[in-house]
Structure formats: C-alpha cells, structure tokens
C-alpha cells in the first residue's frame, strides 16, 4: 500500500508540486485571473488541478513578531485515496478502481460523466471537465508507479513536505515528526486522516498545525454509504410512527 504524508509545517508555498503535477499529467491551466486569495491562483482542487497549494490567512496572536496582523498556513492538498472511497462506491460503470498500489484511479475511457462520484466525495476532490464531462482527479501518478518512479509532486517538493512511500513507514515517519514538533514547543501539531473512521483511513494524510476547517478540510468526513443503514432505520421508525397515528385515528371514536 502506497500513499502520501504531507507535512504542512514544511510547506513554503512554492507550488513546485502543482507545476510538476500539471507538467507530467499534461493538465490545462486554470486561467490567469486574480482570485483575491493571496497568491493562490488555482483556488481549489478540481479536474485540472490535482495538487493545490493553499495559502490560508489567519490572525497573528497578540504579541506576535511577524510585523503584521496575519500569518499564513500553507498546505499542498491532494486526493486522499481513501481506504473506503465514496467515489469508487458510487461509480455505476466500474470506471473507478483500486489499483495494486492501494490508490483510487479513474479510468477515463470507461467514465460516462454521470457525476455520481462528485457528490459522493466527502472532500470535494473529484470533478468533471467542461469539455468532455468526464471525472478527473489525482492518479497518484499511476503511470510513474508502474515504472517504479516517485510521483511527480513528491519528486519536485524541495522541502520534503510531501513524502511518498509505503503507508506503514509513512505513519512511523509522521508519528516521529509530531513528537519532534511537540518537543520543540509546537503542541498544536497533529495528524489528520491516519485513522479517520468515516473513510476507514486516508492513504494521503496530513500533519496540521490548526483546526482542519482552517485548511478547508472537513473535521469529520464520512463516506455517504456509511449512513445508508442509519437512513433506512430512521425511515422505518418514521413509517411505524405514521402507521401508529393512522391506526389511532381509525379506532378512536
């Protein structure tokens, strides 16, 4: 099982991962319009942006020494390749598969553009292109993995913020990094997605230094199908209650 460990405390916002991803996968640009979001020209993950470096502005605590009233959190976001993937479960054509590396891969030649996967992703990662209607997202550089090469984004990262490798070893590295940061006084550092119950874990997980919402990540992501049993139970209870009311109305003189 392969995956990513992204340490946001090492990200410098250079966007080398974005560029490498677009170059290798021959992805179109996202336009060159000013978004108003600091230096973030891509704004979010989508069908043509499979790695997105976010510049998250937050107030500086009183007594801060940065010389301004805000600071940046930077994070290179990507598809999470969930252990239980909502997009894969929702796909009616079999276009989305689990590869031999544990990644979630969309087969473009099979995708019919129905869009069920888009609404099933709790992270808003997968998206459809306007030109052909098909769904696209990060492939974990499946073609590179088959050639025993490191994914383009991790290869290009100059600070080691993006680590690629065996998931077991990545988790060991991540735990060690959190302990190191805590020893250095950064008690707010923690891991996001390692044992995420709503998706049964993420194969691309993160080290964060603030609440998940600050990074535009859901605090408690859940694959929609996990709620099916609960929905049916609620519907059954409602039906029983309605039947009881009807029966009471009939027998009441």
Q: Name the pLDDT band for 158 (thresholds 50, 70, 90).
A: very high
Considering the domain architecture, whether residues 243 and 151 belong to the same structural domain is answered as no
The answer to whether 76 touches 55, Cβ cutoff 8 Å, is no
* Tally of domains in the chain: 2
- What does pTM read for this prediction? 0.83
State the CATH number of the domain containing residue 140. 3.30.70.20
Q: 186 vs 46, 131, 165, CA distance in Å?
A: 32, 46, 26
Domain encompassing residue 82: 2-222
Considering the domain architecture, whether residues 149 and 227 belong to the same structural domain is answered as no
Considering the domain architecture, whether residues 198 and 214 belong to the same structural domain is answered as yes
Considering the domain architecture, whether residues 235 and 135 belong to the same structural domain is answered as no
Residue range 93-105: average pLDDT?
97
Give the whole-number percent of the chain exceeding pLDDT 90.
Answer: 70
Considering the domain architecture, whether residues 14 and 66 belong to the same structural domain is answered as yes
Considering the domain architecture, whether residues 93 and 142 belong to the same structural domain is answered as yes
Of the two residues 60 and 22, the one the predictor is more confident about is 22
| pLDDT at position 184 over 60 | yes
The answer to whether 75 touches 8, Cβ cutoff 8 Å, is yes
Considering the domain architecture, whether residues 143 and 243 belong to the same structural domain is answered as no
């Amino acid at each position: 099982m392969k995956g990513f460990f992204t340490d946001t405390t090492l990200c410098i916002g250079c966007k080398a991962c974005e560029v490498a991803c677009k170059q290798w996968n021959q992805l179109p640009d996202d336009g060159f319009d000013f978004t108003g979001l600091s230096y973030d020209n891509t704004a979010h993950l989508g069908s043509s942006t499979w790695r997105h470096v976010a510049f998250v502005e937050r107030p500086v605590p009183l007594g801060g020494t940065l010389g301004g009233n805000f600071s940046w959190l930077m994070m290179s976001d990507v598809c999470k390749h969930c252990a239980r993937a909502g997009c894969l479960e929702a796909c009616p054509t079999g276009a989305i598969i689990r590869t031999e590396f544990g990644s979630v891969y969309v087969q473009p030649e099979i995708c019919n553009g129905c869009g069920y996967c888009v609404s099933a992703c709790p992270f808003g990662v997968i998206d459809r292109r306007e030109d052909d209607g098909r769904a696209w997202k990060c492939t974990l550089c499946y073609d590179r993995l088959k050639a025993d090469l490191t994914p383009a984004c991790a290869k290009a990262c100059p600070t080691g913020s993006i680590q690629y490798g065996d998931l077991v070893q990545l988790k060991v590295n991540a735990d060690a990094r959190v302990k190191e940061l805590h020893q250095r006084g950064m008690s707010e550092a923690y891991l996001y997605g390692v044992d995420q119950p709503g998706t049964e874990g993420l194969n691309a997980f993160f080290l964060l230094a603030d609440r998940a919402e600050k990074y535009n990540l859901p605090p408690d992501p859940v694959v929609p199908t996990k709620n099916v049993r609960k929905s049916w139970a609620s519907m059954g209870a409602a039906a029983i209650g309605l039947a009881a009311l009807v029966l009471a109305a009939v027998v009441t003189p």
